[in-house]
Chains A and B, each alone.
Chain A
């Protein structure tokens, strides 16, 4: 520790602290414009100058390290005069148009000028003029207002890992710009906007919507991916005009393009505002009474004629915990069946089933915040930078702190830029790759014998199962050079602070269950579980997919993963809910579609899901939904699925209700109502309870908080969480009492079910392999800008104008062979159907593999995918099927 005196007050700080840090910890204010606590110091703005006794000239306190015995003065007439001069020099080169500036009132420069009474006329002279305007759809870059603080350059490079902009030119002509002053073409995360101290960088869609006056701010949670970033909605006249995130949130103010700029859907004119009832091939508007009566009457009719099990419900991972809890209660208690599921079936079903059977719980074991202290980060089958951008920010920070990153993915995903080892395996060969890595760890005795002995079982037997996966054999299956497999194994195997991160690339296979087991085996082998900054970390896709699973929109469990097969559990819930419950496991989402075609399922109630685009084998999904006697869709837009419904009920979006979301690392966070619903749209809780009441089962609650109380009574893991506590602090379950601090990482005290088992896994090829007729492997996924079936993002103008076109990625060599040029429309066909789609020729994908994002209804990727399921978790194989590619012919694609 170092002792120094600042303005006559003594303080001890850690070695390496700057004078500015030391002053801050004393609560002394020093003005800055170029300093940011999470970025490297620059010393550019010269406002933070201080006097040090014995030093002739003032020094910049952000770059000067505190040293022993130093006597610092932060404010003196001389210092303040210099600061005012610096400000006046900046202002002399700054357009004096605060009247028109988007940032007025929230501008750091304006604020300092005000305090220092700094005038722009003192050093008036020639001012920089930049005519060039950047035409990107997200950010306004007004470089005349730029004060060259460099925060945008640093955050883009150091935190976001992109480096889209840099200082260019010199002297008076210096400016911050992309290469060749081109239009910005980056990830559009807007971190630069969030740190800009002037009006140089603003959101394009913010313009003239309102600045500081009459703006309400509501803190809530981002509705997109499972990361659960905290956001602040800025509202004027019942319209969201801006999204921001405060630096003191857990995500430190970092957001991605969707979170920051994808909010326009809330106010879209396409929102559903009235209930719709099908008449022939068209819809007509109906009153709520009529729609609800009709819905209830048809459901009752079907229940009486075919039994409760002829009805199913699909809930939504976009909805709150409370809505999901009520939805499954409605299906179970009011309808009387366990046929309830949600989109976790299509993403992390193998995670939930496999991890629960190995460890007793199927969630991310460690928290996102811990990532930055990891030694090794092994990412397999997750395009983290695009699908969970703010998680990737933590990984990049870990990288900056010296962590080694291993990326395994059939595509060279953006995070591979930060990887020490990049393994490009063939789609569907993950078991082989993971077993190959385990083989080396075993052979080179890098495993954690103590942990294996104390906390696991089945090691000896499992060891035999990886015996055959020597590097040569593994390499021949996966296509990964054996040296890389060995070096990945050594890197992961020799660290005891190594986390595995995975997503759909592991789960969306017919071998999804085995893939997850193979991941778990690696963590057990090295003992990388039960401590901070390691673990098995499935990154979950939807904002509340963890919560929808916890609330049991799953056909085999009651809330809190309590089996419907257990008579004791059933009795408990029958008592709690006051009605007899079905003892039969229900149908999964992927089993409901065949059941509908076979006529076993007659009615389906879909809340906030769009299976026409998200389900495998679109042709089959449409056939299934059309076979139903009655389809209810409750949504905020008339989705491709809603278009097939008999009745459409307009619901509410995340900004229009109170409730809770549970993010990917098990953290429960409060969602707060910010705006009123459009037209006659209703709160989803009200809609469900109104239908339920008409079916004769009362679901009456004062509001979401009362529902959460009931949820917490039936599931001990969240019994310590309350709205009151959440208002102050987010809490990760398990949180078992009102003073429990929450659990950032699991299994500190060992596994709840005792010893965890190694699970032998065998390699099996994908359900559909390539052949002479269908020679390419198709893999599907997401891109950075769009979200899932595009229901929300495609209603956001900027996103749609930037990433509104469907495309297929194919390798340069394949394109050459097929004589396909960049941007050409090509026809892609599988045994299920074909789509016409624009070719995007890249070298980030291996030859023989093609990629289509799942977002676009114009070229539905799932027309091509097959509905082969993993036998244990019932997840479809979205990540591998065989396709052929042809030049485009003018015949219309055979879609809907």
Chain B
């Protein structure tokens, strides 16, 4: 891990980058921000780890825990909210056996995210499943999609 981190850090030191872009690059490599990475940067840069944590926990784009193989992002923007995003979230949570405090399934297969607005209000409510937008969604459609992914996952593992 340290080699990868050194590579990322060197690029940012050369270009006088900011902490945010450093964390973005780190997340691109690891999929989330590992604690070890934050502590390592803190030591290398002599910047308190609390500062990194403050930044990383403030922005919704940063993830402090490993994310599932499949990402289900239910848009929570105003338009989606009005058209029933909350009901979709409840359905997804029920389907994946998650609650408000946990957003990744124990088996690491699924993560649910609640971005503030993905900018596709015309087709609200919108859900991004592994980056692919599903417009005019409802609880049933999304539950079906998730079940399909579950099945595919079992096949892969089998």
Question: Can you name the residue of chain A whose Cβ is closest to the Cβ of B42?
Answer: A179
Asked if B49 is at the interface (CB within 8 A of a chain A CB), the reply is yes
Question: Can you name the residue of chain B whose Cβ is closest to the Cβ of A174?
Answer: B58
Provide the bound-state CA to CA distance between A165 and B51, in Å: 8
Interface set, chain A 144-177, CB cutoff 8 A to B: 157, 162-170, 177
- Which residue from A157, A167, A168 sits with its C-beta under 8 Å from B48? A157
Asked if A481 is at the interface (CB within 8 A of a chain B CB), the reply is no
- B38 adjacent to A179 (CB under 8 Å): yes
- A169 adjacent to B52 (CB under 8 Å): no
Point out the residues of chain B lying under 8 angstroms from A833, CB to CB: none
Interface set, chain A 174-191, CB cutoff 8 A to B: 177-180
Interface set, chain A 504-553, CB cutoff 8 A to B: none
Q: How many residues of A contact B (CB 8 A)?
A: 15
B60, chain A: closest CB distance, angstroms: 8
Provide the bound-state CA to CA distance between A760 and B146, in Å: 82
Asked if B54 is at the interface (CB within 8 A of a chain A CB), the reply is yes
Point out the residues of chain A lying under 8 angstroms from B35, CB to CB: 180
Provide the bound-state CA to CA distance between A177 and B52, in Å: 12
Name, among A166, A168, A169, A179, the residue most crowded by chain B CB atoms within 10 Å (CB to CB).
Answer: A179
- A165 adjacent to B57 (CB under 8 Å): no
Point out the residues of chain B lying under 8 angstroms from A163, CB to CB: 47-48, 50-51
Asked if B30 is at the interface (CB within 8 A of a chain A CB), the reply is no
- A167 adjacent to B54 (CB under 8 Å): yes
Asked if A81 is at the interface (CB within 8 A of a chain B CB), the reply is no
- A164 adjacent to B58 (CB under 8 Å): no
Contact with A along B108-143 (1 / 0, CB 8 A): 000000000000000000000000000000000000
Point out the residues of chain B lying under 8 angstroms from A177, CB to CB: 50, 53
Question: Can you name the residue of chain A whose Cβ is closest to the Cβ of B47?
Answer: A163
Question: Can you name the residue of chain B whose Cβ is closest to the Cβ of A161?
Answer: B48
Question: Can you name the residue of chain B whose Cβ is closest to the Cβ of A169?
Answer: B57
Question: Can you name the residue of chain B whose Cβ is closest to the Cβ of A178?
Answer: B50
Asked if A417 is at the interface (CB within 8 A of a chain B CB), the reply is yes
Interface set, chain B 33-75, CB cutoff 8 A to A: 35, 38-39, 42, 46-54, 57-58, 64
B76, chain A: closest CB distance, angstroms: 13
- B46 adjacent to A168 (CB under 8 Å): no
- A179 adjacent to B49 (CB under 8 Å): yes
A621, chain B: closest CB distance, angstroms: 40
- Taking A179-B38, A180-B35 as contacts, is the C-beta distance between A166 and B46 under 8 angstroms? no
B81, chain A: closest CB distance, angstroms: 16
Provide the bound-state CA to CA distance between A193 and B23, in Å: 32
Point out the residues of chain A lying under 8 angstroms from B48, CB to CB: 157, 162-164, 166, 179
A180, chain B: closest CB distance, angstroms: 6
- Which residue from A162, A170, A180 sits with its C-beta under 8 Å from B53? A180
Provide the bound-state CA to CA distance between A178 and B42, in Å: 13
Question: Can you name the residue of chain A whose Cβ is closest to the Cβ of B60?
Answer: A170
Question: Can you name the residue of chain A whose Cβ is closest to the Cβ of B52?
Answer: A179
- B50 adjacent to A164 (CB under 8 Å): yes
- Which residue from A157, A168, A180, A417 sits with its C-beta under 8 Å from B58? A168
Point out the residues of chain B lying under 8 angstroms from A170, CB to CB: 57-58
Point out the residues of chain B lying under 8 angstroms from A165, CB to CB: 50
Point out the residues of chain B lying under 8 angstroms from A169, CB to CB: 57-58
- Which residue from B38, B47, B57 sits with its C-beta under 8 Å from A168? B57
A721, chain B: closest CB distance, angstroms: 43
Point out the residues of chain B lying under 8 angstroms from A166, CB to CB: 48, 50-51, 53-54
Provide the bound-state CA to CA distance between A169 and B50, in Å: 12
Provide the bound-state CA to CA distance between A603 and B37, in Å: 61
Point out the residues of chain A lying under 8 angstroms from B47, CB to CB: 163
Provide the bound-state CA to CA distance between A667 and B39, in Å: 42
B90, chain A: closest CB distance, angstroms: 19
B36, chain A: closest CB distance, angstroms: 11
Provide the bound-state CA to CA distance between A157 and B48, in Å: 9
Point out the residues of chain B lying under 8 angstroms from A164, CB to CB: 48, 50
- A179 adjacent to B58 (CB under 8 Å): no
Point out the residues of chain B lying under 8 angstroms from A417, CB to CB: 46
Question: Can you name the residue of chain B whose Cβ is closest to the Cβ of A164?
Answer: B50
Interface set, chain A 116-165, CB cutoff 8 A to B: 157, 162-165
Provide the bound-state CA to CA distance between A170 and B38, in Å: 19
Name, among B51, B57, B58, the residue most crowded by chain A CB atoms within 10 Å (CB to CB).
Answer: B57
Provide the bound-state CA to CA distance between A170 and B39, in Å: 22
Name, among B49, B52, B64, the residue most crowded by chain A CB atoms within 10 Å (CB to CB).
Answer: B49
Question: Can you name the residue of chain B whose Cβ is closest to the Cβ of A843?
Answer: B43
Point out the residues of chain A lying under 8 angstroms from B39, CB to CB: 179
Provide the bound-state CA to CA distance between A169 and B46, in Å: 22
A171, chain B: closest CB distance, angstroms: 10
Point out the residues of chain B lying under 8 angstroms from A162, CB to CB: 48
B102, chain A: closest CB distance, angstroms: 15
Name, among B49, B52, B54, the residue most crowded by chain A CB atoms within 10 Å (CB to CB).
Answer: B54
Question: Can you name the residue of chain B whose Cβ is closest to the Cβ of A418?
Answer: B46
Point out the residues of chain B lying under 8 angstroms from A168, CB to CB: 50, 53-54, 57-58
Provide the bound-state CA to CA distance between A167 and B53, in Å: 9
Provide the bound-state CA to CA distance between A469 and B35, in Å: 47
Provide the bound-state CA to CA distance between A165 and B50, in Å: 5
Name, among B38, B39, B47, B51, the residue most crowded by chain A CB atoms within 10 Å (CB to CB).
Answer: B51
Provide the bound-state CA to CA distance between A417 and B54, in Å: 21
Provide the bound-state CA to CA distance between A167 and B38, in Å: 16
Provide the bound-state CA to CA distance between A231 and B4, in Å: 50
Point out the residues of chain B lying under 8 angstroms from A179, CB to CB: 38-39, 42, 48-50, 52-53
Provide the bound-state CA to CA distance between A766 and B107, in Å: 61
Point out the residues of chain A lying under 8 angstroms from B51, CB to CB: 163, 166
Contact with B along A798-814 (1 / 0, CB 8 A): 00000000000000000
Point out the residues of chain A lying under 8 angstroms from B50, CB to CB: 163-166, 168, 177-179
Provide the bound-state CA to CA distance between A178 and B52, in Å: 10
Question: Can you name the residue of chain A whose Cβ is closest to the Cβ of B35?
Answer: A180
Provide the bound-state CA to CA distance between A167 and B47, in Å: 15
Name, among A162, A164, A180, A417, the residue most crowded by chain B CB atoms within 10 Å (CB to CB).
Answer: A180
Question: Can you name the residue of chain A whose Cβ is closest to the Cβ of B49?
Answer: A179
Provide the bound-state CA to CA distance between A180 and B51, in Å: 11
Provide the bound-state CA to CA distance between A268 and B117, in Å: 61
B35, chain A: closest CB distance, angstroms: 6
B68, chain A: closest CB distance, angstroms: 21
A153, chain B: closest CB distance, angstroms: 8
Provide the bound-state CA to CA distance between A165 and B52, in Å: 11
Question: Can you name the residue of chain A whose Cβ is closest to the Cβ of B48?
Answer: A163
Provide the bound-state CA to CA distance between A610 and B70, in Å: 66
Provide the bound-state CA to CA distance between A417 and B47, in Å: 9
Provide the bound-state CA to CA distance between A162 and B50, in Å: 10
Provide the bound-state CA to CA distance between A179 and B35, in Å: 9
Point out the residues of chain B lying under 8 angstroms from A157, CB to CB: 48
Provide the bound-state CA to CA distance between A166 and B50, in Å: 6
Provide the bound-state CA to CA distance between A882 and B53, in Å: 43
Contact with B along A408-423 (1 / 0, CB 8 A): 0000000001000000
B18, chain A: closest CB distance, angstroms: 16
Provide the bound-state CA to CA distance between A163 and B57, in Å: 16
Provide the bound-state CA to CA distance between A178 and B50, in Å: 5
Question: Can you name the residue of chain B whose Cβ is closest to the Cβ of A181?
Answer: B53
Point out the residues of chain A lying under 8 angstroms from B64, CB to CB: 180
Question: Can you name the residue of chain A whose Cβ is closest to the Cβ of B64?
Answer: A180
Question: Can you name the residue of chain B whose Cβ is closest to the Cβ of A173?
Answer: B57
Point out the residues of chain A lying under 8 angstroms from B53, CB to CB: 166, 168, 177-180
Contact with A along B2-37 (1 / 0, CB 8 A): 000000000000000000000000000000000100
B52, chain A: closest CB distance, angstroms: 7
Name, among B39, B42, B53, the residue most crowded by chain A CB atoms within 10 Å (CB to CB).
Answer: B53
B53, chain A: closest CB distance, angstroms: 4
A210, chain B: closest CB distance, angstroms: 33
Q: Which residues of A contact B (CB under 8 A)?
A: 157, 162-170, 177-180, 417
* Given A178-B53, A180-B53, 9 additional A-B pairs, CB 8 A: A162-B48, A163-B50, A163-B51, A165-B50, A166-B48, A167-B58, A168-B50, A168-B54, A180-B64
The 6 closest A-B pairs by CB, nearest first: A163-B48, A166-B54, A179-B53, A179-B49, A166-B50, A168-B57
- Provide a sorted-by-A list of 5 A–B residue pairs whose CB atoms are within 8 angstroms: A162-B48, A163-B48, A166-B54, A168-B50, A179-B49
